Amino acid sequence: MAEQPLNGAFYGPSVPPPAPKGYFRRRGHSRGCCCCLLSFFVKVIIALIVILGIAALIFWLIVRPRSIKFHVTQATLSRFEHTSPDNLLRYNLSLTVPVRNPNKRIGVYYDRIEAHAYYDGKRFSSTRLTPFYQGHKNTTVLRPMFQGQNFVIFNAGESRTYNEQTIAGVYDIEIKFRLRVRFKLGDLKTRRIKPKVNCDDLRLPLSTLNGTTTFSTILPLKCDFDF
């Protein structure tokens, strides 16, 4: 039997009060505003992307930026010997490396130039070259020299490779340049960037006693310029 209230009236399940007048209209209006704002921001982003793309295309068409070119045109290896008891590598290597800026409107500040010499993945010498500014469509010749001795340990496989190349009289040398450069366009200068230049696949024989050298690598050798 249903429970009766004290005053004798019967109450069924509670019913929520009706929504205020205009409630659903206001909710629909707020959703519409959010959609309008989202659509507006999407259109702004798309417009900015299009404008930046057009600006980049115009800049490229006007400036036509091109990569700096490094080539090894001469290389002389007059000493390269490794002694096992003390693990000393004695070397004498000189290179001629023209650097070409092919750009018509862009100059290059070489704030720092380091050249590193590697054999079989091991760095055996480094040298720092004089900083300089390179103008438009200009070629500057670098002449890094590596001379002296350094402590280098070869494992069994590396020793075998060295002995084989010593018998053949030809050694695989790698030259790597590490740069800090800024580009100049008119009065504008970029921040410093650190590109890498790798001159691999240099197969160099020892120079003969009369100073002549027969190269196993066909020169000039183009180096890889990597930003």
**Over the stretch 80-108, which tens digit does the pLDDT of each residue have?**
999 988 999 999 999 999 999 999 999 99
Which pLDDT score, from 0 to 100, does residue 43 have? Answer: 83
Average pLDDT value for residue range 221-225 = 95
The answer to whether residue 207 sits within a structural domain is yes
* pLDDT over threshold 90, residue 3: no
The answer to whether residue 53 sits within a structural domain is no
The answer to whether residue 39 sits within a structural domain is no
Identify the three-state secondary structure at position 29. Answer: helix
Q: What is the pTM of this model?
A: 0.73
In 55-69, which positions are buried (b, 16+ CB within 10 angstroms) versus exposed (e)?
eeeeeeeeeeeeebe
Q: Among 23-37, 67-81, 118-132, 150-164, name the one with the lowest average pLDDT.
A: 23-37
Identify the three-state secondary structure at position 58. Answer: helix
- Cα angle 174-141-148, degrees, rounded to a multiple of 5: 45
What is the number of domains present in the chain? 1
Report in angstroms the alpha-carbon separations of 117 from 25, 46, 188: 76, 49, 34
Q: What is the rounded CA–CA span in Å between residue 179 and residue 160?
A: 34
The answer to whether residue 107 sits within a structural domain is yes
Residue 146 structural domain: 67-224
Q: What is the rounded CA–CA span in Å between residue 106 and residue 186?
A: 8
In sequence order, the β-bridge partners of residue 177 are: 115, 197
The better pLDDT of the pair 215, 119 is held by 119
The answer to whether residue 43 sits within a structural domain is no
Q: What percent of the chain has pLDDT over 90?
A: 62
The answer to whether residue 55 sits within a structural domain is no
Average pLDDT value for residue range 218-227 = 91
The answer to whether residue 11 sits within a structural domain is no
Q: What is the rounded CA–CA span in Å between residue 162 and residue 76?
A: 18
Residues 6+ apart with CB under 8 A from 80: 89, 90, 91, 92, 93, 119, 171, 206
Average pLDDT value for residue range 136-145 = 97
The answer to whether residue 193 sits within a structural domain is yes
Which pLDDT score, from 0 to 100, does residue 135 have? Answer: 96
